[in-house]
Amino acid sequence: MNTNGPQGAGGTLGSFDIKTIWRDVRGQLWMLILAAAAVAMLFFVWRAKTTRSSAYISTTYSVTAKGTNNDLFSSLSMAQTTAGQFSQVINSPALRTLVMEDLGVKQLNSQISSEIISETNLLVLSVTAPTPREAFLTIKSVMKHYPDISDFMVGNAIMRVLVPPTVTSTSSHLPWNSLIKAFLAAFAALLVLAVFLSTLKDSIRTAKDVTEKLDTKLIGQICHEKKYHSLMAALLGRRTPLLINHSAMSFRYTESVQKACRKIQNQMDSQGAKSVMVTSYMENEGKSTVAANIALAFARSGKKVILVDLDLRRPSQYRFFKVTDKPLTALGRALQGKKYDQELIGYIPSDELYYLFNTNDYNRSTEMLTNGRMAAILEYLKDQFDYIVIDTPPMGAVADAEAIASIADVSVCVVREHCAMARDINDMIDVLGDCKAKPIGCIFNDEHDSPVKNLGGYGYSKGRYGYGYHYGYGYGYGKGYGYGKGYGK
pLDDT tens column, 267-319: 999 999 999 999 999 998 999 999 999 999 999 999 999 999 999 999 999 99
At 379, which amino acid appears?
E
Specify the domain boundaries for CATH 3.40.50.300 within the chain: 204-482
Q: Give the pLDDT of residue 149.
A: 65
Q: Give pLDDT, residue 375.
A: 95
Residue 478 has pLDDT above 50, yes or no: no
Chain center to CA of 424 = 22
Cα–Cα distance for residue pair 78/72, rounded to 1 Å: 10
pLDDT at position 351: 94
pLDDT tens by residue, 170-203: 555 556 677 888 899 999 999 999 888 888 788 8
pTM: 0.64
The CATH number fitting domain 54-171, selected from 3.90.1150.10, 2.60.40.1180, 3.30.70.1130, 1.50.10.150: 3.30.70.1130
Q: What is the reported pLDDT for 154?
A: 52
CA angle 388–346–477, rounded 5-degree value: 90
Residue 455: band (very low, low, confident or very high) from pLDDT cuts 50, 70, 90 = very low
Whether pLDDT at 52 is above 70: no
pLDDT value at 23 more than 80? no
Count of beta carbons in the 10 Å neighbourhood of residue 270: 9
More confident residue, 146 or 150: 146
Least confident of 178-182, 371-375, 402-406, 419-423: 178-182
Give me the pLDDT at residue 114, please: 82
Q: Report residue 345's pLDDT band, with 50, 70 and 90 as the boundaries.
A: very high
Q: In the predicted model, is pLDDT for residue 483 greater than 80?
A: no
What is the CB neighbour count within 10 angstroms for residue 205? 25
Q: What's the pLDDT at 168?
A: 65
Tell me, letter by letter, the H, E, C secondary structure of 313-381. CCCCHHHHCCCCCCCCCHHHHHHCCCCCCCCCCEEEHHHCEEEECCCCCCCCHHHHHHCCHHHHHHHHH
Average pLDDT of 228-257?
Answer: 81
Percent of the chain with pLDDT over 90: 42
> Which of the pair, 438 or 10, is modelled with greater confidence?
438
Among residues 306, 323, 469, 341, which one has the least CA distance to residue 393? 469
Considering the domain 204-482, what is its CATH architecture? 3-Layer(aba) Sandwich (3.40)
Q: Note whether 203 and 21 are within 8 A (CB).
A: no
**With 60 as the cut, is the pLDDT of residue 2 above it?**
no
Cα 170 versus chain centre, distance: 42
User: What pLDDT, on a 0 to 100 scale, did the predictor assign at position 450?
Assistant: 56
pLDDT of residue 123: 81
**Which residues in the chain are classed under CATH 3.30.70.1130?**
54-171
Give residue 175's pLDDT. 62
